[in-house]
Structure 1
Amino acid sequence: MLAATAAAVVLVALVLLLLLVVFRRRSEAAVVTKGRLPPGPRGLPVLGNMHQMLANRPAVFRWLHRLLDDAGGGIVRVRLGPVHVVAVSCPEVAREVLRGRNDAVFADRPTTFAAESFSVGYRSASIAPFGDQWRKMRRVLTAEVLAPATEGRLRAVREGEADHLVRYVRALCRRDGPDCPGAVDVRHVARHFCGNVIRRLTLGRRHFARDEQPPADGVGGPGRDEVEHVDALFATLNYLDAFCVSDYFPALVGLDLDGHERVVRGVMRTLSRLHDPVVEARVEEWRLLRKAGERRDPADFLDVLASLDDAAGRPLLTVEEIKAQTIDIMIATVDNPSNAAEWALAEIMNRPGVMAKAVAELDAVVGRDRLVAERDVRGLNYLKACIREAFRLHPYHPFNPPRVAMADTAVAGYAIPKGSQVILSRVGLGRNPRVWEDPLEFRPERHLAGLGGAAGAAGSGVSLSEPELRFISFSTGRRGCPGLSLGTLITVMLLARLLQGFEWTTPTGVGTVDLREAAASLVLAEPLVLQATPRLPAHLYEAK
């Protein structure tokens, strides 16, 4: 009832503003194209398919995937107000979007209320529209923050958080609950592991408060600030490209017809409250170091950002740019590793043979007399195949972030007008029956055939990347994810420590794990809760 009322309010408001839209955005409302547009449902004047989009909220992505299935050609178009949104689920078409000339044509990003808010005015690398600011921040990210030297310097930090992970899970094993003694909420553990890692890497701290003492029960889990932080990061991801009405009718920004702006402002208040004091204090520290003519080695990503100088010896980045890039780094890190680990463990629990192979590989490559380390990742091919399969079958996001056409172009023989948004379907690619045999079956072995091809460069073993776009793990192309190496290390270490350190069983009275997706997202409908028993010598779980 509430959803229907909200949709009615939006439609009435759109009708009342029809003349304003027509006269102020005439050039966008009547796009002139040369050639045939991709197939799609018929729309209304001015609104296009906006009414259908609203009727399918909050699971708009499921509506788009039904359209893709009905179209049958791996490409479909809807018009949301003046904007053509083109969804793609075919690897050949996806490669046409992200390779060659079109990769440069589709290098722009949408300008929306959420994007402007989360990027502190379009200052961060992944969200900024194409232009000088994007080039600057992308260069900083790839050449400095995610440089191999920085990755190597921070290895001990990452492995320290992996050690904390096994201590935390062991502590949870010892807790007695009324319903399930020793129960472990894997989603909670995975998300907060990722939160801990990226806070340590970026801000140099696991906790925001100065007092980092564990709680009275000795578990050492996240405090209130850390829970709010991780929740805010996931809310950022969920609202950044959320098919908000004002994303397509910018004149409506400020009316907050669907409530998105209120949520976005609340998320930014949380992130600003937690991040800003740390960022501002560190920038001041580096200002004083410059004034004194002193330097020190950067200890984390924030140090890297604050220490960069331009050609004249002045700070390269403003405080606002550093704040924006800090958010950018964090939201890019927490979702895929935690979601892949939860789904992979859920699938493996229902497949004892897969579990046995993954654990046997860990015992063979690492053994049981030490904890798995980053140096072992290269040899854990079956484990990486399990993660690839989780990325393929269970992505966190249904679509890649939108790419905006900066000029008229063509894809798969169809005309794509300037200003159109192209979104690649992670679900449609990864579950495409023309590409994958038994696409809904979790089968890691499919990624082990010929370790040279898509699984990885010849002789290098299984890689989590997928350059042929048969599914999407890490974005590729000009606006792709530069954090493949870091993302691989975090994801593999998370799942490897969980499988090496513990034997997992379903709670008493539970047979198999329920693999249903949530109605409005691709996560498990219910967080994965299992019982864990330590399987390694006791001293390996102790703090060093």
Structure 2
Amino acid sequence: MELKTTPTSVQDLISTVVSSLKQNDTFTPMFYTLSARLLLSLFLLFKLLLAASRSRHVRLPPGPRALPLLGNLLDLDPELHSHFDALAQTHGPIFKLHLGNKLGIVITSPALAREVLKENDVVFANRDVPVAGRVATQGGHDVVWTPYGPEWRMLRKVCVLKMLSNTTLDSVYGLRRREVRKTVGYFYSRVGSEVNVGEQMFLTILNVITSMLWGGTVDGAQERESLGTEFRQAVSEMTDLLGKPNLSDFYPGLARFDLQGVRRQMIGLTQRFNGIFDKMIGQRSLKMEKEREDGGESKSKDFLQFLLELKDEENSNTPFTMVHVKALLMDMVIGGSDTSSNAIEFSMAEIMNQPEIMNKAQQELETVVGKDNIVEESHIHKLPYLQAVMKETLRLHPVLPMLVPHCPSETCTVGGYTVPKGSRVFINVWATQRDPSIWENPLKFDPERFYNNTKWDFSGSDFEYFPFGSGRRICAGIAMAERMVLYSLATFLHSFDWKLPRGEKMDLSEKFGVVLKKKIPLVAILTPRIAERSENLAFPAGDCHTVGIGGQIGGGGYGYLTRKYGLTADNVLDTELIDVKGRILNRKSMGEDLFWAIRSGGPASFGIVLAWKLRLVTVPSTVTVFDVRRNMEGDATKKLFHQWQRRADKVDEDLSIYVRFQTESSIDKEGNKKIVLAAYFRATFHGGMDRLLELMQKEFPELGLLRQECTEIRWVKSFLYHNFFRNGESLDVLLNRISNYNMSSFKAKSEFVKEPIADDAFKEMLGRLYEEEVGGVMIDLFPFGGKMNKISESAIPFPYRAGNLYNIHYLVLWEVV
């Protein structure tokens, strides 16, 4: 075997030999071993001579002892942020590392960070672009990796002044709101089940970004989960490759061989994204061309259209090309989605780990937003405690723990040491923001340190706290990130309570990368704060608020939603029950027979119920209620009841009218006490007052219902109304298990009516009420029909379905002396 070319350097020699070896498969193992040893020896000698020559002329920072050729590569820990912090404790706030052919400089102090990012900002405004970064961004033509100069200034202007300005962000708030509300809807569909918080935060922000870029979003719960996992995995792989130590970066002469396959993997990932970009660009270009032909102009422009129009302009000194378009699209998708979603995931984990922080944040939201209102982005500037939560999250878990490495364009001095031109400079913001000499109790998550404290912000002017960097290369997307993180946190905390799955403990450990991630994904179970947060979600519980959930489900449970959605027990999806053997069973493990029996069949006969998973149903924002009293002395009311028996189960299922007959004390004209019989007609109608009055006039004209007897109200407030809380009481009164009735004891019995009670029998029944010498007597009649007619009598152990007109409930109350 002979070499075909004449090498001019050690690197060329290695390259030539490797190339020849690849072309010739007749060499012996002995020749390969001798060649490798020879090449290694020559390379080591070259490196030693070069290092010795340089070290005689400059005063480099201190650092750990380096091996010939390899430098400190073998000593690097995968968790570089904490590894570099540990090295700083030994070598000081500035130290060097030999990373193959590259010299790395690590900065871990506010004073030295100021020297780099402020006093020598222009010198350090360049990047040492890794191979993976160059491939991902069309050759490094994006705002992150482009060298400082006219091209970078043009790209920065496009991002900061056009795409991510406050004016532009305000104009697309509707898109952000829509996507966050969709996520809230998805969370409601997953109530009681485990939710991967990071994945859902990522998909929410991805949808926001793609909406702003080209209008595309992901709909459907199943598609949302699968695409969210797939897309996040692709972005995660890309950011992992960007942060992965790569021999091609440390030994540029070996880059052509791609020994670790980083370039090949990044090309594959980039092609996946470029396929999406090309499709969107093609569609938008055709649309723009059609609009020009039609002589019209798009009413609303997304970012992609803006970029394509900018590309077509020819008055720019620095051309904006299709390469720039794709590179900026990649910046937005990769840089915007993974960073913000990880920040939200860390925030939620820290908040869940300290319930008192969650409670305080929710109390602030209730004060500023209101219990009955939905969070809007305009609220976030009035939430100082939640802002403190975000700041504390980014102090403890900065999304870019060492920012994006800088590269000096000329040799300069930092902290009295020489930093050579072309060095890779790491600013360990993670370590600085955990420095115990700066921060009291630095490892504790404590938003109070930022609460009503204006010293620290995201401007990068204070080098004790600069999670978004500083100087010319400060993050271009701060405004977008602040809005998305705060708006998302506010909405999700206002809508739900959050907790870990049973038996799980919070793990806050981190995984290093260009973007810092939570090592163990956050999985949570959500409990809706339905009554206070949602106008349109409800659960079909019974009408008596003093009956617990076990009594509701164990006995069936009927109320004002029964005619539309069935019984309480009909809307149970799953349960957790401890059986006689001490096993915790759910629907799947207990089997359908037992699950059938415990719904309205008396669950206490089979075990101890730990939890119920319930189906939420949709209700209108406004319902109409009434509660009218009619005297039973006249024939008109009796005729009304006659009509009610025959119509109440057949009217529109949006209307439920229940009737109560009860005896009351009265004083006649002569001043004598007497017992009278009254009828109360109480109803909830899922709609407005006008439609209700029209329906009542058609179905029950005998009631003579008047507009002033009706009230339009939120659905959840209708429970207050029907439980006689009609003086502005808080919803919290529904949590009180003590009845409003003065009677301390009662006896009740129920029957189900299949045929209307005859008028004579009805008259005799009511006459019996006058004979009772007790504290009070009530007869309640609750209509069925509607959904109850559509559910099989064997669906659960509650057979009173089709053919049953109403339930009649006899109630006798007395005082215990």
TM bracket (short chain): 0.7 to 0.9
Matched with 2:194 is 183
| Range moving further from structure 2, 18-27 or 43-52 | 18-27
Aligned amino acid, residue 524 of structure 1: K
- 62-71 vs 350-359, which deviates more? 62-71
Residue in structure 2 matched with residue 539 of structure 1 by the alignment: 535
- DSSP 3-state at the match of 2:95: strand
Distance of 1:435 and 1:221 partners within structure 2: 47
2:429 alignment partner in structure 1: 426
Give the conservation status (yes or no) of the 8 Å contact 1:371–1:540: no
> 2 CA distance for matches of 1:516 and 1:114?
26
Q: For the residues of structure 2 that align with 1:268 and 1:14, how far apart are their CA atoms? A: 38
Checking the alignment, whether the CA contact within 8 Å between 1:229 and 1:271 is kept in structure 2 is no
Counterpart in the other structure of 1:460:
none
**Matched residue type, 1:44:** L
Question: How big is the shift at 1:389?
Answer: 0.9
**Structure 2: distance between partners of 1:238 and 1:306:** 30
Deviation string, structure 1 residues 138-184 (Cα, Å, up to 9, x no partner): 221122112333212111111111111211111111xxxxxxx4222
What residue number does 1:267 align with?
Answer: 269
Secondary structure of the structure 1 residue equivalent to 2:216: coil
| Distance change in 2, residues 1:238/1:150 (3 Å) | same
Q: Does 1:166 align with 2:184?
A: yes
Contact in 2 for aligned 1:50/1:79 (Cα 8 Å): yes
Q: 1:137 aligns with which of 151, 155, 160?
A: 155
Distance 1:315 1:90, change over 3 A: closer
Equivalent position to 1:74, from 77, 93, 98: 93
Q: Distance in 2 between matches of 1:17 and 1:134?
A: 40
State the structure with more CA Rg: 2
**Residues 15 and 376 of structure 1: is their aligned pair in 2 closer, same or farther, counting only changes over 3 Å?**
farther
Of 127, 133, 147, which aligns to 2:165? 147
CA displacement, residues 29-65 of structure 1 (integer Å, 9 cap, x when unaligned): 9646854211111223343223333xx3x33444323
Alpha-carbon separation, structure 2, partners of 1:379 and 1:344 = 19
Contact preservation (8 Å) 2:88, 2:94:
yes
Alpha-carbon deviations, 1:453-480, whole Å to 9, x = none?
224xxxxxxxx55531323322221111
SS in structure 1 of the partner of residue 208 of structure 2: helix
TM-score scaled to structure 2, two decimals? 0.57
SS, match of residue 254 in structure 1: helix
Distance, in Å, in 1 between the alignment partners of 2:435 and 2:132 is 31
* Partner in structure 2 of residue 323 of structure 1: 326
User: Which residue is equivalent to 2:510?
Assistant: 517
Q: Quick check: 1:450 aligned with 2:453?
A: yes
TM-superposed CA distance for 1:495, in Å, is: 1.1
Letter in 2 for 1:202: L
Deviation at 1:298, TM superposition (A): 4.8
Structure 2 letter corresponding to 1:68: A
Aligned to 2:68: 45
Counterparts of 1:326 and 1:21, CA distance in 2 = 43
Equivalent pair of 2:195/2:525 in contact (CA under 8 Å): yes
Conservation of the 8 A alpha-carbon contact between 1:168 and 1:221: no
Q: Is the partner of 1:36 in helix, strand or coil? A: coil
1:95 aligns with 2:114: yes
Task: After TM superposition, give the deviation of residue 277 of structure 1 in Å.
Answer: 0.9
Structure 2 spans left out of the alignment, 5+ residues? 1-34, 538-617, 622-817
CA distance in 1, matches of 2:48, 2:314: 42
**Does the residue aligned with 2:245 lie in a helix, a strand or coil?**
coil
41-50 or 335-344: which moved more? 41-50
Aligned 8 A contact 1:298 1:304 in 2: no
In the aligned structure 2, how far is the partner of 1:95 from the partner of 1:144?
29
Counterpart position of 2:485? 491
1:371 aligns with 2:391: no
**In 2 relative to 1, CA 120–291 (structure 1 residues): closer, same or farther, beyond 3 Å?**
farther
**Alpha-carbon distance in 2 for matches of 1:47, 1:126:** 29
Identity of aligned residues (%): 31
Alignment partner, residue 309 of structure 2? 307
Residue identity matched to 2:260: D
Q: Deviations over 1:1-22 (max 9, x none)?
A: xxxxxxxxxxx98984775798
In 1: Cα distance, 2:52 partner to 2:528 partner: 61
Distance verdict in 2 for CA 1:222–1:152, change over 3 Å: same
Q: Which residue of 2 aligns with 1:4?
A: none
Matches within 5 A, 1:50-69: 50-53=73-76, 56=77, 58-69=78-89
Q: 1:26 to 1:59 in 2, by over 3 A?
A: same
Task: Confirm or deny that 1:230 pairs with 2:232.
Answer: yes
Q: Structure 2 matches for 1:388-467, cutoff 5 A?
A: 388-451=391-454, 453-455=455-457, 464-467=458-461
1:312–1:439 Cα change, 3 Å? closer
Residue deviations 1:295-325, cap 9 Å, x none? Answer: 4355321122112253449995322221111
Q: Report the residue type matching 1:498 in the other structure.
A: F
Deviation at 1:293, TM superposition (A): 6.3
Match in the other structure for 2:386? 383
What residue number does 2:759 align with? none
Question: Is the CA contact 1:145–1:305 (under 8 Å) kept in the aligned structure 2?
Answer: no
- C-alpha displacement at 1:199, in angstroms? 1.3
Aligned residue number for residue 250 of structure 1? 252
Match of 1:116 in 2: 134
Counterpart residue number, 1:177: none
Conserved? CA contact 2:510–2:517, under 8 Å: yes
**Aligned partner of 2:274: which letter?**
S
Q: Is the 8 A contact 1:370 1:540 kept in 2?
A: no
Distance 1:30 1:184 in 2: 58
What SS does the corresponding residue of 1:403 show, helix, strand or coil? coil
Aligned positions, number: 502
Does 2:207 correspond to 1:196? yes
Q: Judge which range, 225-234 or 134-143, deviates more.
A: 225-234
Counterpart CA distance in 2 for 1:147 and 1:359 is 30
Residues in 2 aligned to 1:77 and 1:429: alpha-carbon distance in whole angstroms = 17
Q: Which moved more, 1:522-531 or 1:410-419?
A: 522-531
Residue 106 (structure 1) aligned with residue 124 (structure 2): yes
Q: Label 1:24 to 1:131 Cα distance change in 2 as closer, same or farther (>3 A).
A: farther
Give the partner amino acid of 1:205. Answer: G
Output the aligned Cα RMSD.
Answer: 3.1
What is the CA distance between 1:226 and its match in structure 2?
A: 4.7
Are 1:283 and 1:319, in contact at CA under 8 Å, matched by a contact in 2? no
Structure 1 gap segments, 5+ residues each? 1-11, 174-180, 456-463
> Are residues 135 and 307 of structure 1, via their aligned partners in 2, closer, same or farther at CA, if it must alter by over 3 Å?
same
Report the AA paired with residue 333 of structure 2.
Answer: M
- Give 1:206's aligned residue: 217
Say if 1:30 and 1:329 are closer, same or farther in 2 by CA, change over 3 A.
farther
Match of 2:359 among 351, 356, 359: 356
Deviation at 1:82, TM superposition (A): 2.7
Equivalent residue of 1:122, what SS? coil
Task: Report the CA distance between 1:254 and its aligned residue.
Answer: 3.4
* Counterparts of 2:140 and 2:38, CA distance in 1: 31
Paired with 1:344 and 1:370, the residues of 2 have a C-alpha distance of 23
* Structure possessing the higher relative contact order (Cα contacts under 8 Å, 6 or more residues apart): 1
SS at match of 1:431: coil
The question of whether the paired residues in 2 share the 8 Å contact of 1:391 and 1:472 is answered with: no
Describe the shift of the 1:77–1:287 C-alpha distance in structure 2 as closer, same or farther (beyond 3 A): farther
Q: Which deviates the most, 356-365 or 276-285?
A: 276-285
Map of 1:341 onto structure 2? 344
The separation in 2 between residues aligned to 1:185 and 1:353, in whole angstroms, is 23
User: 1:399 aligns to what SS in structure 2?
Assistant: coil
Conserved 8 A contact 2:460-2:474 = no
Aligned match of 1:529: 523
Q: Is the 8 A contact 1:89 1:428 kept in 2?
A: yes
* 1:97 counterpart letter in structure 2: V
Normalising by the residue count of structure 1, what TM-score does the alignment of the two structures yield? 0.84
- Is the alpha carbon distance of 1:22 and 1:170 closer, same or farther for their aligned partners in structure 2, counting shifts above 3 Å? farther
